[in-house]
Amino acid sequence: MTTTRLEDYRRIVVKVGSALLVDRRDGLRRQWVETLCRDIAALRESGSDVIIVSSGSIALGRAVMRDTGLGHDRGLKLEESQALASIGQIALAKDWSEALSEKSLVAGQILLTLDDTKDRRRYLNARATIQQLLEAGAVPVINENDSVATNEIRYGDNDRLAARVASMAGADLLVLLSDVDGLYTAPPDKDPDAQFLPHIAEITADIEAMAGDAGSDLSRGGMKTKIEAGRIATKAGCAMIIASGKRDHPLRAIAEGARHSHFEPDASPVTARKKWIAGQLDPAGRFFVDTGALEALKSGKSLLPAGVRKVTGSFARGDTVAICDHAGFEFARGLAAYGADEAVQIAGRKSSEIAGILGYSGRAAMVHRDDMVLTGAQIALNEDE
C-alpha cells in the first residue's frame, strides 16, 4: 500500500476533472465537492497552500442549458462550446465560492489562456496574482479561459494547464483527480495483464509509450496529457500524483492508502538553481546576442562571449542578467560569469582571447548553461512539442 502524507507538502495544486464535478442532469455534484472542500480546509489548517485547477465550465454550461437548443447531444461547434463555457464558468465560480466559504475559505478566480503561461510578462503577472491570493489566505480557483481561447491558443486540457500552474506557483505537489486511479502499463479496461505502477522515479520513453498515441481527440484529458503534465511538473521540481476522484474525500483517501501513482520530482540541484534564476524579477543587465548564439542556447549550450553583440546595465559577477535576441526580446536569464566592465570588453571576442584582454584566464562562457534558464516563448514551445 502506498500512502502519501499530503500535509508534508508546502503548496499543492489540485486538478479536478469535469466528470467528477458535474452530473449531466443534475449539474454540480455538491455533496462530493463538499467533501473535497473539507479535505482542502484540513490541508490549509495544517499549513499547506492549496490551488484548485477546476474543469467543468463546458459540462456545467451544458447542464444549465439542457432544455435549450444549446443543450443538444451532438458534437459542439467552437462557438457553441465557448458560449457554454461562458455560461458554465460563471456558475462554476459561484459554486466554488460557496462551497469554499462554507469552510470559511475565500475563493479567487483566475482564467488563463496559453499565452498567460508562455509570455514572460503575462506569466509574471499571473504568478504575482496567485502569490498575492495565497498570501491573503484565499484559495485560487483556476480554469482555462475557454470562452475566448480558440483552438490555436488553447491548452484544451486542464492536465497540462494544472502542471503549468504548479510550476508557475512554485508548488511542490500536483494532484490530478479524475476517473483513473493511476498509471498502468497498458489500458486496464482493455488489457487483463496491465500492471499498476505505484511509483514513477523518472518519466522515461517507456513510461511515455504507456500513455498511448498522440494527437487523437480521444486522448484529450487522457493518460497522454497526464504524462505530459508529469513531465512539466517534475521538471519544475514538483511531485505529481494521479488518483481517482470517484470517492468522497478524495485527498484524504490518498493519505489513507487509496490507490494512486506517485511521480517523483526532478530534484537535481541544477533544477533548483534554475528555478531560482527564473524567479529573479529584476535582472541587473542585458546581453544582446546574435542568432548563432540564440540557436546554441536553445539547444542547451552555454553563452560564449563571441555571440554577445552588446552589453547593457551595471552588474557584478554572479548577478542575474537577461539574455535577449537582436530585437531585444528576452528569451533566457542567467548568472553572469563576468561583471559588466569585463563583459563589455570581451563581448564579441573568442574565448581564447579572454586572457589577453583581461590579463587573466577567466571562464570560457559568459553565462554557463547550468546557470541559465530559457524563459521566453521558446522554452514553452520546446516543452510542449
Contact residues toward ligand GLU (CB under 6 A) are 17-18, 55-59, 143-144, 146, 157-158, 221
Residue 253 CB, shortest distance to ligand GLU, in Å, is 21
Q: Which is nearer to ligand GLU, 156 or 339 (CB)?
A: 156
- Name the grid cell of 138: 484565499
Contact criterion met (CB below 8 Å) for 82 and 151: no
Q: Is 113 left (phi over 0), alpha (psi -120 to 50) or beta?
A: beta
Q: Which is nearer to ligand GLU, 39 or 159 (CB)?
A: 159
Q: Which is nearer to ligand GLU, 51 or 59 (CB)?
A: 59
Three-state DSSP at 97 gives helix
Residue 221 CB, shortest distance to ligand GLU, in Å, is 4
Separation in Å, CA 183 to CA 193, 248, 382: 13, 21, 25
Contact criterion met (CB below 8 Å) for 255 and 6: yes
DSSP state of 367: B
The H or E element that residue 125 is part of is helix 120-135
Q: Which is nearer to ligand GLU, 176 or 337 (CB)?
A: 176
Q: Which is nearer to ligand GLU, 2 or 86 (CB)?
A: 86
Separation in Å, CA 345 to CA 290, 325, 327, 357, 358: 17, 20, 22, 7, 8
Residue 154 CB, shortest distance to ligand GLU, in Å, is 8
Q: How many Cα atoms within 13 Å fall on the side-chain side of residue 61?
A: 21
Residue 377 CB, shortest distance to ligand GLU, in Å, is 22
Q: Which is nearer to ligand GLU, 144 or 228 (CB)?
A: 144
Distance CA 216, CA 219 (A): 6
Distance CA 239, CA 176 (A): 11
Q: Which is nearer to ligand GLU, 58 or 380 (CB)?
A: 58
Three-state DSSP at 237 gives coil
- Residue for cell digits 511515455? 208
Residue 163 CB, shortest distance to ligand GLU, in Å, is 12
Count other C-beta atoms under 10 Å from residue 45's C-beta: 10
Contact criterion met (CB below 8 Å) for 160 and 222: no
Q: Which is nearer to ligand GLU, 59 or 294 (CB)?
A: 59
Residue 193 CB, shortest distance to ligand GLU, in Å, is 29
Three-state DSSP at 266 gives coil
Residue 117 CB, shortest distance to ligand GLU, in Å, is 14
DSSP state of 303: B
Residue 54 CB, shortest distance to ligand GLU, in Å, is 7
